[in-house]
């Protein structure tokens, strides 16, 4: 695979990785399991148990494990055709996926701020009309 194709694969594979990590660590559908894991990560007696549950609540940490799964499924390698291509691809995928999540998080924050501003403006106009 030439370098351009590898970069394209990197950018595309990072999308589902970011989507899975974001959904598990932020979205309402996983709120109850996330709260359970968050509680266990703070209160478990043993360090390995605390760390295991923490990984499920941290988008950056979870991204590493999702990437490992995707590397197993796709056998994607970056720069090298031998085993060295896997760790390079893995860390590159984590990095790109976290950039995507940062952009998405910022975009959602901006949208939420705009909605709040619009609601405040509408309430102010309703008070003036009354």
pLDDT tens digits along 2-52: 999 999 999 999 999 999 999 999 999 999 999 999 999 999 999 999 999
The reported pLDDT for the residue numbered 103 is 95
| pLDDT at residue number 126 | 83
CA dihedral 100, 3, 71, 83 (to 10 degrees): -140
**Distance (Å, rounded) from C-alpha 96 to C-alpha 78?**
13
**What does the alpha-carbon distance between residue 71 and residue 74 come to, in Å, rounded to a whole number?**
5
What pLDDT is recorded for position 128?
Answer: 84
Q: How far apart, in Å, are the Cα atoms of 8 and each of 3, 12, 74, 78? A: 9, 6, 14, 11
Token pair, residue 79, equals 């720069």
Q: What's the chain's Rg over C-alpha atoms?
A: 20
The answer, yes or no, to whether residue 129 has pLDDT greater than 90, is: no
Please state, in angstroms and rounded to a whole number, the distance separating the CA atoms of residues 55 and 48.
11
Torsion sign (Cα): 108, 111, 113, 119:
negative
Segment 66-125, tens digit of pLDDT: 999 999 999 999 999 999 999 999 999 999 999 999 999 999 999 989 988 898 888 888
**Residue 1's pLDDT band (boundaries 50, 70, 90)?**
confident
pLDDT at 23: 94
């Amino acid at each position: 695979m030439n370098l351009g194709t590898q970069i394209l694969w990197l950018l595309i594979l990072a999308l589902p990785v970011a989507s899975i990590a974001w959904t598990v660590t932020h979205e309402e559908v996983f709120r109850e399991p996330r709260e359970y894991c968050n509680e266990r990560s703070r209160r478990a007696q043993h360090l390995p148990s605390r760390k295991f549950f923490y990984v499920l609540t941290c988008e950056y940490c979870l991204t590493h494990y999702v990437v490992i799964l995707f590397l197993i499924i796709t056998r994607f390698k970056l720069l090298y055709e031998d085993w060295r291509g896997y760790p390079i691809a893995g860390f590159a995928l984590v990095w790109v996926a976290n950039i995507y999540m940062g952009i998405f998080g910022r975009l959602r924050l901006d949208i939420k701020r705009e909605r709040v501003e619009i609601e405040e403006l509408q309430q102010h106009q309703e008070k003036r009309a009354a």
